[in-house]
Structure 1
Amino acid sequence: MNRDWRVVLARRLLLVAAGGLLLGLVTGYYGWSMALCVALYLAWVLAQLVRLHAWLKRQDFHEPPPESNGLWGEVFDSLYRQQRQHQQARAALQAIIDRAQESTAALKEAVIVMDRHGNLEWCNNAAQQLLGLTQGDAGQPVTNLVRHPAFKDYYDRGRYQDPLELASPINARLRLQFTLTRFGNNEHLMLVRDVTRLHLLEQMRKDFVANVSHELRTPLTVISGYLETLLAHSDSLEPRWLKPLQRMEQQSERMKHLLEDLLLLAKLEATAHSANAQPVAVAPLLQLIRRDAQSLSADKAHQIELEADPLLWLKGSEAELRSAFSNLVFNAVKYTPAGGHIQIRWWGDEHGAHLSVRDDGIGIEPRHLPRLTERFYRVDSSRASHTGGTGLGLAIVKHVLLRHQGRLDVESAPGEGSRFSCHFPPHQLAEPGMPACDTREADPTK
């Protein structure tokens, strides 16, 4: 039963005083009797303190506290109740942890828990099958256990929005997908999935598209050749056949561009990095693209402005970069009304190099932005038929940027135009091979 400690203390002090008075009545020395009783009480209190200190020093919290009476009995009873509550809460928490570990250990995906320094804390059974990790590796840096430069770069970069795909370090035939998530005090949780089957299916799709595209080139070339010959002698044809032949030639040209884009995309997907890592002068490349864009604009009279740093070069493939940058600029021309303004800007800062293509065209609704780089994704099918695009341009841009360690950002709103921005990290920059003239130039249409 819980009682107020003040009442218990008052009763004990009254007993000490009564004992002193009684002993003084017997001996006739009231002062010494009272002092003796107080001293005995203090000695008992000190003895209880020593018992409490000894119990705490043992640090065995499964052992109940000492028994006593009075105020110290209340203290020891309170400690015992708290000890029982703590044991019950700890048992319940341990049961939850055990159940979580048992369920996690049964997963087919590898689960790895790392501390804030990147050291292994815990892993399940699948981590041993997929990565060769064991509980005995606890305390070691995971970047030392999963030895791959791409994984270390992925971990150190700190941007985990997109997963990383690598071959298993213990079985090269397995393809694994790594996903990192931060939690707690900058600790990390890593989930590793076996995506070998998906990888094989994706590879089959790529091979099928590449093979079909390659095989279609020959019959398409024959068809285009005959159409060109017939149109060259259109004077000898009946007038009713002229328009169908012209439409057939337009569609064969569109099909030719589609096959070229499919083959280029298959080539880009074949490897993760550009094989031709040469210094590329971006400013003169953008000048050529701007001239081609002016020709494409024709009677639309777009105002195309170029501002580029001539001393800012990139490492990579000039052909791939030309394909990506021209797709962005030509798209701006296609989807900007006549007389519109298009701004191309190439600059650098402490974060790397950046290319932006801004237009004041028709714009794109926000719901379409996440899917723009998907193959054949159409914001509006009528727009595709009007512009004659293949639907692969932004997919090509995405893969070129990935091969050059870059990323694509898109900002757009209906009626407010669009801005496509390419960002390259500092280590992707190259030293200029030769000085170039300033490419800031005025638009001749102004």
Structure 2
Amino acid sequence: MRYWTNELWRLGYLAGGFGLIGGLLGFLGWGLALGLALYLFVHLRHLKSLYHWLITNPHEEPPPGDGVWGDLLDRLYRYQKGQRKAQERLRSILNRIQESSEAMRDGLVMLDNHGDMEWWNSAAEQLIGLKVSHDRGQHVTNYLRDPAFIDYFNRLDYREPLTLQSPLSDNLILQVSITLFGDNERLVMARDVTRLYRLEEMRRDFVANVSHELRTPLTVLAGYLETYSDYASDLPPRWQRGLGQMQSQTDRMQHLVEDLLTLSRLETDELSGEGHCLNMPALLEQIREDAAGLSQGRHTFSVEADATLSLCGEEQELRSAISNLVFNAVRYTPEGCHITLRWHATADDLVVEVEDDGDGIDPVHLPRLTERFYRIDKGRSTATGGTGLGLAIVKHVLIRHQGHLDIDSHPGEGARFRCRFPASRRCTPDTR
């Protein structure tokens, strides 16, 4: 404010002084015009100095100036100096980020809001084969053309990573995950999981082969035990008890082998097409009848199904998944509990719910319930004949149908298992 006051005084001195001289000489107007012209000339000279400084050497000291121009030049110089320091600090941070990214073994690819590749580290060049010379600015799906990746990229559901083969080699297996940030920009991370993939493949093959090998001897044992049981009354009591235990354990082993074979098939086989349009109310009613037979009157059941909704999927797989949830509710809830089966739609997805009013589950166990052989109470699971694979089967069936399992439970408040399917799997039954 002080500088503007001084400028006004300077203008007043020039205009008044030259006006006074012009008035004494009889040229008042010319005197005032000459004073204003001199004032304008001084400002134009400072403006020219400012322009020349900004164009030629803005990083040097500003040109000398007085009054408001001196203050303006000083402020501009301090502002530019602060901006240069901020830029240097940001440049240093970016360099550190790039250096740390270059040190990573995982490939990083930064995409703009259109999906075009802006930057990547050297690991991405080794894992994916990107080249700065001709790949920068290309859309990521022009390079990663695997249909599974294109669907994953466009679906915008990045909660789970995707496993696929590298464009460089079919023997290189990558785990790809995408993170959204900024204005719909994406960060793609590619990790070499070839070794883990091969180990998992070996595990699946081992489980499948062992299960197949066990099936035959178990079938033979079960057959002989069934034959012997026809003459159990002729055996001593101790032998009768041993025969019953052998039959029970053989049945349990057969169930375990069947569940292992089911899991192996779900992991290795491709889902054949989109499936069929299923009458879900009828399917839930059939499962309710099976569960009532298993319960033998110890529980009550109800079905709440929207008859206008149908689901596209594989009937046998979905029947197996939902039956596992309902049969678990029968096995692990006390007598007198009520079990409800629901089928409805939300704003985002289609939902099958299995709810009970039993003892509930401690939330600490919920993240691990779908793991193979995980049991909350090992003794109780053995007594009820569970194999520890039911929820793992449910999880894999839902994955094959682009769905996922939500579990909501607290001790003393029962449990609710929700099978969520994308709305795209809603279908219209063929009534022909």
Normalised to the residue count of structure 1, the TM-score between the two structures is 0.87
Corresponding residue of 2:43: 45
SS at match of 1:182: strand
CA distance in 1, matches of 2:5, 2:342: 84
Question: Given the superposition, is the C-alpha separation of residues 427 and 21 from structure 1 closer, same or farther in structure 2, using an over 3 Å criterion?
Answer: closer
1:405 to 399, 402, 405: 402
Of 196-205 and 42-51, deviating more is: 42-51
1:206 to 204, 212, 229: 204
Q: 2:89 aligns with which of 92, 98, 103?
A: 92
Task: Give the partner amino acid of 2:143.
Answer: L
* Structure 2 CA distance for aligned equivalents of residues 348 and 22 of structure 1: 90
Distance 1:78 1:207 in 2: 73
Select the residue among 324, 335, 338 that pairs with 1:338: 335
CA distance in 2, matches of 1:378, 1:62: 70
Contact 1:406–1:425 (8 Å) recurs in 2? yes
| Alignment correspondent of 1:358 | 355
The residue matched to 2:412 in structure 1 has which SS? Answer: coil
Q: State the alpha-carbon separation in 1 of the partners of residues 93 and 336 from structure 2.
A: 67
Q: Please say if 1:308 is aligned against 2:305.
A: yes
The whole-number CA distance in structure 2 between the counterparts of 1:125 and 1:414 is 51
Decide whether the 8 Å contact of 2:19 with 2:35 is kept in 1.
no
Q: 1:59 to 1:325 in 2, by over 3 A?
A: farther
Q: Give the drift of 1:412.
A: 1.1
One-letter amino acid of the structure 2 residue matched with residue 185 of structure 1 = D
Candidates 102, 107, 110, aligned match of 2:107: 110
RMSD: 3.0
Q: Which has the higher contact order (CA 8 A, sep 6+)?
A: 1
Q: What CA deviation, in whole Å up to 9, does each residue of 1:173-194 have, x standing for no partner? A: 1111111112222321111111
Inter-partner Cα distance in structure 1 for 2:89 and 2:292: 72
1:147 to 145, 148, 172: 145
**Contact 1:113 1:121 survives alignment (8 Å):** yes
Q: Which amino acid aligns with 1:151?
A: F
**Deviation of 1:30 (Å):** 9.0
Question: Deviations 1:403-431 (Å, cap 9, x if unpaired)?
Answer: 11222111111111111111222332343
**Matching residue's letter, 2:369:** L
Equivalence for 2:128: 131
Q: Which amino acid aligns with 2:383?
A: H
Pick closer, same or farther for the CA change 1:344–1:71 going to 2, 3 Å: closer
Q: Deviations over 1:331-366 (max 9, x none)?
A: 111122212211112234664432111111111111
Whether the 8 Å CA contact 2:358–2:415 is kept in 1: the answer is: yes
Match of 1:160 among 158, 164, 167: 158
CA distance in 2, matches of 1:35, 1:86: 42
- Could you tell me whether the CA contact under 8 Å between 2:19 and 2:30 is conserved in 1? no
CA distance in 2, matches of 1:61, 1:117: 36
Tell me the CA shift for residue 59 of structure 1: 8.8
SS in 1 for 2:277: strand
Question: Who is 1:419 aligned against?
Answer: 416
Match of 1:292 among 280, 290, 293: 290
1:281-329 Cα distance to aligned partner (Å, 9 max, x none): 33333222211111101141x2111233455433332221111111011
The answer (yes or no) to whether the contact 1:282–1:312 under 8 Å persists in 2 is yes
Match of 1:384 in 2: 381
> What's 2:275 paired with?
277
Distance 1:186 1:342 in 2: 43
Structure 1, unmatched stretches of 5+, are: 436-446
Gaps of 5+ in 2: none
| In structure 1, distance between residues paired with 2:189 and 2:105 | 10
Tell me, in whole angstroms, the C-alpha distance in 2 between the residues paired with 1:427 and 1:71.
68
CA-CA distance at 1:151 after TM superposition: 1.6
Measured against aligned partners, the alpha-carbon deviations of 1:40-78 in whole angstroms (never above 9, x if no partner) come to 13321122224434555x497446544334432332232
Cα contact 1:112–1:190 (8 A) shared by 2:
yes
Task: Choose 311-320 or 9-18, whichever is displaced more.
Answer: 9-18
Q: Give the length in aligned residue pairs.
A: 431
Alignment CA distance shift 1:304-1:83 (3 Å): same
Q: Aligned partners of 2:227 and 2:347: how far apart in 1?
A: 57
Q: 1:232 to 1:127 in 2, by over 3 A?
A: same
Alignment of 1:212-231 (within 5 A): 212-231=210-229
Name the CA shift for 1:61/1:320 in 2 (closer, same or farther; >3 Å): farther
1:14 shift after superposition: 8.7
Cross-structure match for 2:192: 194
Q: Which deviates more from structure 2 when the two are superposed, residues 63-72 or residues 73-82?
A: 63-72
Q: Which residue of 1 aligns with 2:244?
A: 246
Partners in 1 of 2:379 and 2:241 — Cα distance? 22
Distance 1:149 1:59 in 2: 54
Separation in structure 2 between the aligned mates of residue 220 and residue 62 of structure 1, nearest angstrom: 86
* Amino acid corresponding to residue 125 of structure 1 in structure 2: S
Q: Deviations over 1:17-37 (max 9, x none)?
A: 897599789989899667644
Partner in structure 1 of residue 318 of structure 2: 321
Q: Does the Cα contact within 8 Å between 1:341 and 1:359 map onto a contact in 2?
A: yes
Task: Give distance in 1, aligned partners of 2:301 and 2:35.
Answer: 104
For residues 132 and 228 of structure 1, do their structure 2 counterparts lie closer, same or farther at Cα, with a shift above 3 Å needed? same
Q: Distance in 2 between matches of 1:426 and 1:59?
A: 62
Change (3 A) 1:247 1:67: same
TM-score (norm 2): 0.89
Cα 1:95–1:240 shift into 2, 3 Å: same
Identity of aligned residues (%): 51
Q: Distance in 2 between matches of 1:429 and 1:41?
A: 80
Asked whether the equivalents of residues 177 and 188 of structure 2 are also in contact (C-alpha less than 8 Å), the reply is: yes
SS of equivalent to 1:378: coil
Contact 1:308/1:346 (<8 A) preserved: yes
Change (3 A) 1:221 1:116: same
Distance 1:188 1:102 in 2: 20
- 2:175 maps to 177
- Opposite residue 395 of structure 1, the aligned amino acid is A
1:122 aligns with 2:119: yes
Residues 353 and 419, structure 2, Cα contact 8 Å, conserved in 1? yes
State the 1:237 CA deviation: 1.2
